[in-house]
Amino acid sequence: MTLSLNECLENLALEVSANADMMEDLEVYSFFDVFSNYLIEAGEIDTADRCYFSPDSKGSSIRIDGYGGDPIDTDNRLNIIVCDYSKSKEIENVNKANIEGVCKRAANFISKCQDSNFRISLDSSSPEYGLADMINIRWPIIEKVRIIFITNKSLSIRRAEFEPLPINGVKTEFTCWDINRLQQYINSGKEREEISIELPNYGGSISALQAFGSDSPFKSYLCIMPGETLANIYEEWGNRLLEKNVRVFLQAKGKVNKGIRETLDKEPNMFFGYNNGITATASEIEYSVTKHGVAITRLVDFQIVNGGQTTASIYDAKRRGTLLKSVYVQMKLSVVGEEKSKEIVPKISQFANSQNKVSTADFFSNHPFHVVIEDFSRRIIAPPKEGTTLSTKWFYERARGQYAEARSQSSTQSERKKFDAINPRSQLVKKTELAIVMNTFRGFPNIVSKGADKSFVKFSNEIKKSWNEDEEKNLKFNEQYFKSAMCRVLIFRSLQKLVSSQDWYEGGYRRNIVTYAISKLQMILSSKGKRINYQKIWLQQYIPKEMEEYLIYISKKALIHLVNTPPGNSNVTEYAKTEKCWE
């Protein structure tokens, strides 16, 4: 399915509106949540935490909408998110002046975070205070500020036309996601937004030797990658280069190897001889043939599947001021087309890392678990809700855009209304949300608080293990598993809505409150040898009043616990991500 720009705008508006109704939220807040999920899916950020702050509303010189995690977890980059949301059903344009205004207000907030008087003026239990305090504490290690501008409007300038000024001496980068870029990403059908690297912009072309025969299913090259070029590429793209590297993805993102560091510092000219090099893949390359051989000039969908620590260590050497002119890295590059990518790239990743006895962490939408859950969601009919006679379905979206595609198959307005009635958007469940919910009920609220991406990795590994154990008997992942999973989603969403309506809830930390409250409920029930009656909830399609009241009670306790952070850790959102908080 290929969405037109107007269809993309319409689908985004429907998703924002449905989410706002479900959460009892303002649409502008819902827009942040919905669009941020696309950013996480695309690999732009690992997590997104809402933190709306604009003290005087109109005409304010300060404004932010959220941020993308602790800089200590993001290669010392501070990701600040700002929104420009329109309720118009027509595509509006956003110009350079609009962008400059929004980004300047975000820059003012970042700058003021280092002013103690400004921090003292904020409510110490508020998200903005926690963010301001974190920025102040992390400022000595922050090497780059990224202002991520998200909008459902159409950007009328090129990226090169807008470069933000440094903030207190720290380099600032501008990234824009408008409706055009979102449309391109959705239509690409890829798990991550494509990485396209024009090598002349990073230090020059790469020398390569062909290493494949006429009968090979893909093309391989032996390459010599200059250390400076590799460092420049990593500086721009960071851990997005390492998503298919099993070891890095699971354990050691961005870690610096001491042995590699010593070679870079003391014997840089021996690096090529001492180091094992890196293994990489690309879906496409561009090259020229010179008298010295092949010179690669462009890499599309470039991924380092083995050698993450080598890459991170070389980048670390660059930012410490180590000269890399005599550093070269051997690289085995496999060029695998999109049609074979999902089959071959995980195997290259797995075998390249086999000496460490790790299994593949790639867990894409074609894994049998997702296929089975999708099949159940299309077949199993949920009982009518109280006061209605209409049976509905819980639509599981294992691949991005499936719901929109299924809806678009309705050729008439009446057919579309029928589809919406049977498959209400309020019962659309994405695979990342299922991971969040299931991890909550399994007692991992700290993992859930780390965001959809990290939560999905945790869930994937557990499911993969269970699937392998259960594959022959097929006893666990049955219809009852599907029904109880959807009931868990129902409980999670119901509590989100309940929390929003409480007089003690002042905004912020909702997901943290909900995941901690439900995890605590499960712990209490387990200690008493009891469990939730999912069969009853499935038949009713709502949670009992007694459960509502008890969950609200625990949620208030959870909020009190979360905002009372230990000394030296005033950021509630970041505290919620720690094991200590759950313990």
The token pair at 404 is 């929109």
Cα–Cα distance measured from residue 569 to residue 105, given in angstroms and rounded to the nearest whole number: 26
Place of tokens 């937004």: 193
User: Which residues touch 273 (CB under 8 Å, ≥6 apart)?
Assistant: none
DSSP letter at 170 equals B
**In the numeric block, which tokens belong to residue 146?**
């990224």
* DSSP letter, residue 248: I
Q: Which residues contact 241 (CB under 8 A, 6 or more apart)?
A: 195, 233, 234, 302, 303, 304, 311
Position 359 scores a pLDDT of 33
pLDDT of the residue at 258: 77
Can you spell out the DSSP letters for 28-50? HHHHHHHHHHHHHHHTS-S--EE
| Alpha carbon distance 408, 375 (integer Å) | 19
> E strands of 427-578, at which residues?
428-430
- Which residues, 6+ apart, have CB-to-CB distance to 422 below 8 Å? 390, 391, 392, 393
CA quadruple 166, 168, 169, 175: dihedral, nearest 10: -30
pLDDT value, residue 355: 44
Query: What pLDDT was estimated at residue 358?
Result: 34
DSSP 92: P
Classify the phi-psi angles of 451: left when phi > 0, otherwise alpha if psi is within -120 to 50, otherwise beta.
left
To 10 degrees, what angle do helices 227-237 and 308-319 make? 90
Helix (H) or strand (E) holding 277: none
- Report the chain (583 residues): mean pLDDT per 10 consecutive residues: 85 91 88 92 87 74 92 89 94 88 91 94 91 94 93 78 79 90 83 84 92 82 94 85 51 59 89 89 90 89 86 88 92 82 61 43 67 94 88 91 84 88 93 95 96 88 82 75 97 95 91 97 96 95 95 97 89 93 96
Q: Give the residue among 216, 71, 91 at the shortest CA–CA distance from 142.
A: 71
Q: Is 176 helix (H, G, I), strand (E, B) or coil?
A: strand
Four-residue CA torsion sign, 199, 205, 207, 210: positive
Instruction: Report the C-alpha gap between 104 and 110 in whole angstroms.
Output: 10
- Residue 42, Cβ neighbours under 10 Å: how many? 21
Write down the pLDDT at residue 481: 95
pLDDT of residue 424: 92
Of the candidates 149, 144, 47, 138, the one whose C-alpha atom is nearest the C-alpha of residue 106 is 149
CA-to-CA distance for 336 and 30, rounded, in angstroms? 38
Q: What letter represents residue 23's amino acid?
A: M
pLDDT at site 411:
78
CB 218 within 8 A of CB 334: yes
Res 117: pLDDT = 95
pLDDT attached to residue 475: 74
Counting Cβ atoms within 10 Å, is residue 252 exposed (0-12), middle (13-18) or buried (19+)? middle
Q: Return d(Cα 353, Cα 351) in angstroms, integer.
A: 5
CA 306 to chain centroid: 22
E-state strands within 54-129: 64-67, 77-84, 93-94
Question: What pLDDT sits at residue 246?
Answer: 40
Distance CA 106, CA 62 (A): 6
Cα–Cα distance measured from residue 394 to residue 437, given in angstroms and rounded to the nearest whole number: 15
Across the beta sheet with 77-84, what order do the strands follow? 49-53, 64-67, 77-84, 144-151, 171-177
Which distant-in-sequence residues (6+ apart) come within 8 Å of 209 by Cβ?
Answer: 221, 222, 223, 293, 294
Q: What is the dihedral of CA 113, 116, 122, 123, to 10 degrees?
A: 120
**C-alpha to C-alpha distance for 542 and 548, rounded to whole angstroms:** 10
Length of the chain: 583
Amino acid symbol at 465: K
Those residues with Cβ within 8 angstroms of residue 318's Cβ, 6 or more apart along the chain or in another chain:
228, 231, 232, 235, 324
Partners of residue 178 on adjacent β-strands: none
